Amino acid sequence: MKSMGSDSGAKDTGGNSRTAGKVQEGISEKISTHARTEKESTKVVIIGGGACGMAAATKIRRQSDFNIIVLSCDSHTAYSHCGIPFVLGREIENFEKLIVKPPDFFRENKIDVRLNEKVISIDLTGQVILTGEGIYHFDKLVIATGSLPFILRKSQANIMPYGIFTLRTLADGMLFGKALETARIVCIVGGGTIGIECASALTRRGIKTILITRNKDLLSRQFDSDMSAIVRAQLKALGVEVITGETVLLPENFWKQKTILVKDRQFPADLVLLATGVKPETCLAEEAGITIGKAGGIVVNEMLQVKTGEKFLPNVYAGGECAEVTDLVTGEQRLSQLGTTARHMADVIGNNITGKHSTFGPLADPWVAIAGNLQFGGVGLTSGEAERQGIKVVTGFSRGRTRASYYPGRKDLYVKLLFKGNCLAGAQLAGGEGIKERIDALSLAIRKKTTVKDLLSLETCYAPPVSMLVDPLIPAVKSAVRNMREIKANEKSPDEKLD
């Protein structure tokens, strides 16, 4: 299927079409163009039919009668990437269930979605987009190209053989899912949330799983060592063999040998999943002269407009994983690889395109993931990031329970809080239940620069089936207070200590 949307404005309008400048050269007359005519309303072109692109399209449709075209090189749209591990684990029946809006929805709403159509270049001066199929004029442009799997150079040479997979799109999920039907042993490379969720999913269906990361710990970017150890123990309990601090060597003929090498050990593996992270897809933007930042994403202002030279362009926006964000705690530019961020950015872009001024502020990036019956997640600064940024933090830790001591089914709950000065700057939680709600509350606390004193007087609610009388957050705050006092005491000179 080529196009999911209406055909409006897809044909060349001859004399009325704008010149596409150098981009148009050599394009055959047969190629359709999305050209401007006097009568037509504002033309919005969105590159990328993922979380940000599709949410921006629907937002714009709700707020305007603009002519909207979405160009996507994906073969599906409006689906939940986040659900893929749960289909692999057979908790969700099939991949089709992840499609949250059917093609008809976009057709009915006059959003012209063109799938399997890769944008080749952007001409900012001529305000045209070139794809393999045609040229599209735009009045407003949204770049929402997401990310590409990041594959380490060493293994890149071996990426082609059958049996090695990445997981970014629904089609990737379907392909991997099919291969899993006959797999007995799978090696997952990468210890981030996707690698962990997939490892848990595979063991759930009885597939022996080895998870390998070159980092010292699992979740090395999101969790401190002590918290990541809880996740590691959970994976072990699920039957996953976890190897950290080692790189994997995939033999050239993996498809035949069906073994992987870790240091001097050989492991049998029917399939390999590379879950080694992603990098922003910024090629198009970069070639068009759009500024790329230090973190590797497209630089945007608070209205999410892109920059060329010293100027932000009023009609060109970028959002989702391809754009950089500002960190709420450090003020540094970084990437945010979350569906929630993509969705939030889409709202801001949609508002700005339709004339409702909206801004996008710094982020603390709350996240949560699942391995078996363990939920784990966090928000804000980690100790590792604090060290990289030269920020001193004081931590507080507690281990509590999720229900009253006599109530059946109670589970462990681990809380780690990080304070920068007196203010809450980060939180990491793991446990059997009640993780998301606490992280969301702590996310607001970080945003509001809540102090340790405020948190000491935090009022929490209680009923035996859902909490302890003293919420485990409180002992974590008290533990941080004790650590702060101890640090202060140690900082005092010997004379002061005598006072």
Ligand X SMILES: Cc1cc2nc3c(=O)[nH]c(=O)nc-3n(C[C@H](O)[C@H](O)[C@H](O)COP(=O)(O)OP(=O)(O)OC[C@H]3O[C@@H](n4cnc5c(N)ncnc54)[C@H](O)[C@@H]3O)c2cc1C
- Edge-first strand listing for the sheet containing 367-371: 367-371, 374-380, 423-431, 412-420, 394-401
Q: Shortest Cβ distance from residue 83 to ligand X (Å)?
A: 8
Q: Shortest Cβ distance from residue 408 to ligand X (Å)?
A: 29
Tell me which of 17, 58, 67, 72 binds ligand X, using CB under 6 A: 72
Tell me which of 5, 9, 192, 320 binds ligand X, using CB under 6 A: 320
Q: Shortest Cβ distance from residue 409 to ligand X (Å)?
A: 25
* Concatenated DSSP letters of 104-169: HHHHHTTEEEETT--EEEEETTTTEEEESSEEEE-SEEEE---EEE---HHHHTTSSSTTEEE-SS
Catalytic residue among 52, 73, 82, 198: 82
Stretch that binds ligand X, among 244-252, 285-293, 338-346, 441-449 (CB under 6 A): 338-346
Q: Is 482 in the site for ligand X (CB under 6 A)?
A: no
Is residue 415 classed as helix, strand or coil in its secondary structure?
Answer: strand
Tell me which of 5, 9, 50, 400 binds ligand X, using CB under 6 A: 50
Q: Return d(Cα 193, Cα 218) in angstroms, integer.
A: 9
With CB under 6 A, what is the number of residues at the site for ligand X?
A: 32
Of the candidates 35, 74, 84, 85, the residue with the CA atom closest to the CA atom of residue 52: 74
Stretch that binds ligand X, among 28-36, 71-79, 387-395, 473-481 (CB under 6 A): 71-79
Which residue number places its CB atom closest to ligand X?
A: 50
Tell me which of 44, 47, 211, 364 binds ligand X, using CB under 6 A: 47
82 tagged catalytic: yes
- Binding string to ligand X for residues 158 to 187, with x set by CB under 6 A, is what? ---------xx-------------------
Q: Shortest Cβ distance from residue 253 to ligand X (Å)?
A: 28
Q: Is 435 in the site for ligand X (CB under 6 A)?
A: no
Q: How many residues does the chain have?
A: 499
Q: Is 118 in the site for ligand X (CB under 6 A)?
A: yes
Of the candidates 77, 254, 35, the residue with the CA atom closest to the CA atom of residue 170: 77
Q: Which of 9/146 has CB closer to ligand X?
A: 146
Tell me which of 60, 194, 325, 371 binds ligand X, using CB under 6 A: 194
Map tokens 């918290």 to a residue: 227
Sign of the C-alpha dihedral, residues 429, 432, 434, 436? positive
Q: Is 119 in the site for ligand X (CB under 6 A)?
A: yes
Question: Which neighbouring-strand residues pair with 33?
Answer: 135
Of the candidates 306, 311, 394, 408, the residue with the CA atom closest to the CA atom of residue 349: 306
Q: Is 51 in the site for ligand X (CB under 6 A)?
A: yes
Question: How many CB atoms lie under 10 A from the CB of residue 64?
Answer: 17
Q: Is 338 in the site for ligand X (CB under 6 A)?
A: yes
Sign of the C-alpha dihedral, residues 100, 105, 111, 115? positive
Q: Return d(Cα 209, Cα 236) in angstroms, integer.
A: 10
* Concatenated DSSP letters of 245-291: S--EE--TTHHHH-EEEETTEEEE-SEEEE---EEE--HHHHHTT--
Q: Is 281 in the site for ligand X (CB under 6 A)?
A: yes
Indicate the DSSP class of residue 181.
Answer: T
Q: Is 214 in the site for ligand X (CB under 6 A)?
A: no
Q: Shortest Cβ distance from residue 54 to ligand X (Å)?
A: 8
Binding site for ligand X (CB under 6 A): 47-53, 71-74, 81-82, 84-85, 118-119, 144-146, 167-168, 194, 281, 284, 320-321, 337-340, 342
Q: Which residues are catalytic?
A: 82
